[in-house]
Amino acid sequence: DTEVTQTPKHLVMGMTNKKSLKCEQHMGHRAMYWYKQKAKKPPELMFVYSYEKLSINESVPSRFSPECPNSSLLNLHLHALQPEDSALYLCASSQGAGGWNEQFFGPGTRLTVL
Amino acid sequence: QKEVEQDPGPLSVPEGAIVSLNCTYSNSAFQYFMWYRQYSRKGPELLMYTYSSGNKEDGRFTAQVDKSSKYISLFIRDSQPSDSATYLCAMKRLPNDYKLSFGAGTTVTVRA
């Protein structure tokens, strides 16, 4: 299984809502990533978890809260988002420290904030 | 100045043509280079990765790296309409680096 899955595919939420994005991989990878991608722009790194610990936080606003419950799962909790947070949110995974760390991306969740 | 420069295009070619894509970079610490393909409304998929200066071939795809000029290229031979996508170059300093530096992406359309 060389797939990263993400749910939901699409999400529409209001600025006062709380929602979560979910990402799962079963490749035995020990690093997992969240990216944000706006239209016609490259992905921007948000967070990296390595061996279930937060390794990188690219100064992301606290209205985005990542969580890594186990080595296969990654969540992104969303609260009090702004319309400018509307984007494609991509999850990726890679082998982890010591390897090539080739990143495998999921299909993304398209988020619209009203 | 961005660390990685990539012409966003768009690039439109007839079926069967050679597609030529390139990126330049300013950080000489970058040693590992990747090309990702991203179809509309999908996540990026890794096409090729390379470390050495020189050429690497995989089927219709050739990746070229010139570290002395800080210039990388991707060539697609015998292009097909299914190659229509956005192509992103990416690079990093060390093999186990988590953070990639991406180019802006070039949108390619192959006309049937």
pLDDT tens, position by position, A6-46: 999 999 999 999 999 999 999 999 999 999 999 989 999 99
What is the rounded CA–CA span in Å between residue B70 and residue B15? 30
Using pLDDT thresholds of 50, 70 and 90, give the confidence band for residue B66: very high
Residue A101 has its nearest CB partner, among B44, B96, B102, at B96
Q: How does pLDDT run across B41-56, given as a tens digit for each residue?
A: 899 999 999 988 899 9
Q: Which stretches of chain B sit within 8 Å of chain A by CB?
A: 8, 34, 36, 41-46, 49, 88, 95-100, 102-105, 107
B15 pLDDT more than 80: yes
Report which residue type is found at A8.
Answer: P
Residue B54's beta-bridge partner residues?
Answer: B65
What is the rounded CA–CA span in Å between residue A25 and residue A7? 12
According to the model, what pLDDT value does residue A66 have? 98
Residue A7 three-state SS: strand
A-chain residues near B49 (CB < 8 A): 100, 102
